[in-house]
Chains A and B, each alone.
Chain A
Amino acid sequence: MRRQLLLKDINVPGIQFYDVYRRQGGYTAVEKALRQMSPEQVTEEVKLSGLRGRGGAGFPTGLKWTFIDRKSGKPVYLVCNADESEPGTFKDRYLLEHIPHLLIEGMILASYAIGANTAYIYMRGEFRWIFPILERAIEEARSAGFLGNNILGTGFSLEIYVHPGGGAYICGEETALLESLEGKRGNPRLKPPYFPAVMGLYHCPTLVNNVETLATVPSIITMGGVEYARIGVGKSTGTKLISASGHINKPGVYEIELGLPVEEFIYSDEYCGGIWKGRKLKAVVAGGSSVPILPADLILKTAKGEPRLMTYESLAEGGFQTGTMLGSGGFIVMDETTCIVRNLWNFTRFYHHESCGQCSPCREGTGWMEKVLHRIEHGEGRPHDIDLLDDVAKKIEGKTICPLGDAAAWPVSSAIRHFREDFEYHIKYPEKVKNPKHFEIEPLVPRRHLETA
């Protein structure tokens, strides 16, 4: 039976309320940590657990906590990044909406570990309806004595504030988030010098963690870091929430043990339940729209022929040539009728819309890519457009202030790398692709349409 840590009580009625959550063993981790452990011990447990950031980058969480500059004499802040806006990712929303106390418990533990007395939840602007849920949960925790001054009589104090953003994807980038939290325009800051661990919120040391990362901390404290590290494979320890969407029979949020084979995840009845309508798999975007897309053969098996697993390492195997990334766990499955170009145009339109406009490659390049893709998808593409698109993506990648430029470039480069035929088909048969459902009427069978002159 698969192990569940985050979602084990998700179906208990009323779990979003304090009483039920407490009855299910909630807040025992806080009691354990604050009464029996020093902040260093809490950090040590998280380090031992091998937990890696669940927001997308996969940076070791415990290590990140030790970077916090505690000698500066300035106040230390904890910021929870709940600005989940990556297309294809909806796991944080699920946690926030259904089990808010798990996040609060995790935030208390993290704040205790890094010595923060003020913590913020920066929530995506579109999550308006979750705002009262969180506010209520915080109020409940405060009346139960887990927030406020002198928590559990240990002398540790913490206040948590919820801050709804304006609804900008870029504010999920941690330094842009801090700018926005300070009330400024959400432009990412330059690193160096603005590393959040040293110069974060209000120029004070700040820890920014994803919702899921923080929500995992209570389990680690309860079961111990070593025990947690036993789940998973190698450096990918523990469980991870996967937001499965697309052409599958059972889309939804799944908690998996890292190390699960991708094939099992897609086809087993316990998870996605296979491709809908009995169709075949064409492509998978494994970690949210920003990561490289992979065709069916490469997502199920690596280039070396080994089965691909749901881990940070296995998905990245082969680099960007034949691999991808686990990212934030937005698992988008596409069946054989999917038009890769149309999908990519949709992604690129998103990045064009969400670019902050601060640095030139991303500001101008995302718009340019969108226009070229629009042209190709609507039957007005020219043969040189494919190479142009690839070149523009290359000129954005790695040249920008923040990772949004990379996130916009990777899907484009990878789609051209793996699905060049789809693009060539669009240029060759402009009349056919003018119908948006062109591949549903006539699925693209690789190589058949491409007669050589």
Chain B
Amino acid sequence: MAKITIDGIEAEVPDGTTILNAARQIGGAIVPPAMCYYTSLKESGGKCRVCLVRVAQASARDPRPLPKLVASCSTPVQDGMIIENITSPDVLEARKGVVEFLLINHPLDCPICDQAGECDLQDLSYAHGLATTRYEEERRTFEPIDIGDKIKLHMTRCILCYRCTYVADQLTNERRHGVLNRGDRAEIGTYIQKAIDNEFSGNMIDVCPVGALTDRTFRFKSRVWFTRPLDAHRNCDKCCGKVVLWTKGEEVLRVTGRKDRYGEVHEFICNECRFEHKNLSDWVVEGPRRIDRHSVISQNHYEKINLVALKKEIERQIEFQKGKANGNSSNARTA
């Protein structure tokens, strides 16, 4: 076990845990955002750089800080490590920079994007982005293409997280798409236009953090916040069969895997469940889905708040801020 401190909160986590996962175990506002890391996809992470954190003390044995900000999703913790995320101005500045970089070539076409409302990039730019742009040049564009009859690829929206390539590598037996070209000309593509139809290819839609890969069967049917998400399952011989149905009245508009609070699916579903069963009668409905995100989807979905926990968190934050202020002023006095 390794003892670590993230933004003043101490925790003990198993050796080899990454900083990001340690922060997720603590939870709350100190969890760094992640656009490319995906727990159930091996090798993912390290690419988007929004999860950068500062390591103020590398370990108990080596109390020096690390010279550069590190990607929290790929850096394992050490015993005695002290990590600064939202308490470090450097980290927040760097994150602002990365969000700006992610947005300069993004079309910002949220009003016509099916992902709007459940888009990680939208959430991220809401939290860290600038209200205006400093980028005056023409944005890089690509034509949208159909990869197979179920998936639409809008390369203009892609942030090159590589998650969909890992899905193809790790869930299906054949990867037919990949990253072509390099630099800001890099694109996800099939080279010679090929259909991606594999029993698990639909999961590429679920892992895509932005609206680059969208469900053609759901395209332009509804804004996601006008739908009612329901947990449901069916007996499926290919997958776990546990899904979320996005319904409007009696109509099932879309079927997806179950995403956790960090937007990650842990049990992937097959294409048959996703695309072929659009009747409520095909499913055993378990109840409404709790959308655990700061997202417009949860609008009008009132929930009971655990007031005791909220009070505790506020008190803790106050204490922490006080401690910081005291620490600073006492330093100033001695100096």
Contact = CB atoms under 8 A, between A and B. Distances in A.
Interface in B132-187: 134-135, 137, 159-160, 162, 178-179, 181-186
Interface string B41-52: 000011111101
Interface of A: 168, 170, 185, 190, 192-193, 352-361, 363-368, 371, 388, 394-396, 398-401
9 tightest A-B CB contacts, nearest first? A395-B97, A357-B186, A364-B101, A355-B183, A190-B46, A367-B184, A371-B137, A398-B68, A357-B183
Contacts, number: 96
Contact of A355 (B45, B179, B182): B182
Contacts of A388: 134
B184 A361 contact: no
A110 to B, nearest CB: 29
Contact of B182 (A170, A192, A371): A170
21 contacts: A170-B182, A185-B178, A190-B45, A192-B74, A193-B76, A354-B182, A356-B182, A356-B183, A357-B181, A359-B48, A360-B47, A360-B48, A363-B101, A364-B104, A367-B183, A368-B135, A394-B97, A395-B97, A395-B98, A398-B69, A401-B49
B61 to A, nearest CB: 17
Contacts of A368: 101, 104, 135, 137
Nearest to B96: A395
Contact of B186 (A363, A371, A401): A363
Contacts of B100: 395
Nearest to A185: B179
A358 B74 contact: no
Contacts of A395: 93-94, 97-98, 100-101
Contacts of A353: 183
B212 interface: no
B295 interface: no
Contact of B105 (A355, A364, A399): A364
B46 A360 contact: no
B75 interface: yes
A75 to B, nearest CB: 23
B82 interface: no
B49 A359 contact: yes
Contacts of B245: none
B185 A357 contact: yes
B183 A359 contact: no
B102 A168 contact: no
Contact of A361 (B97, B178, B181, B185): B97
B270 interface: no
A61 B292 CA distance: 52
Given A399-B97, A399-B98, A361 B183 contact: no
Contacts of A366: 183-184
Contact of B184 (A168, A170, A357, A399): A357
B71 interface: yes
Q: Identify the interface centre among A185, A360, A388: most chain B CB within 10 Å of its CB.
A: A360
A368 B101 CA distance: 9
Nearest to B104: A364
Nearest to A385: B136
A359 B46 contact: yes
Contacts of B76: 192-193
Contacts of B181: 357
Given A388-B134, A399-B94, A360 B159 contact: yes
A382 to B, nearest CB: 9
Q: Most B CB atoms within 10 A — which of A192, A353, A357, A388?
A: A357
A243 B69 CA distance: 34
A190 B98 CA distance: 18
Contacts of B74: 190, 192-193
Contacts of B47: 358-360, 401
A354 B50 CA distance: 22
Interface in B248-292: none
Interface string B100-141: 111011000000000000000000000000000011010000
Contact of A190 (B71, B94, B183): B71
Given A354-B182, A361-B98, A399-B98, 17 more contacts: A190-B45, A192-B75, A193-B74, A352-B184, A353-B183, A357-B181, A357-B183, A357-B185, A359-B46, A360-B49, A360-B160, A394-B97, A398-B68, A399-B52, A399-B68, A399-B69, A401-B71
B137 to A, nearest CB: 5
A170 B184 CA distance: 14
Contacts of A356: 182-183, 186
Interface string B70-82: 0100111000000
A363 B137 contact: no
A359 B162 CA distance: 10
A240 to B, nearest CB: 26
Contacts of A190: 45-46, 71, 74
B183 A363 contact: yes
Contact of A357 (B71, B75, B104, B179): B179
Contact of A399 (B49, B75, B104, B134): B49
Contacts of A398: 68-69
A360 to B, nearest CB: 5
Contacts of A193: 74, 76
B182 A364 contact: no
A95 B82 CA distance: 47
A365 B101 contact: yes
A369 B37 CA distance: 27
Contacts of A363: 101, 160, 183-184, 186
A358 B101 contact: no
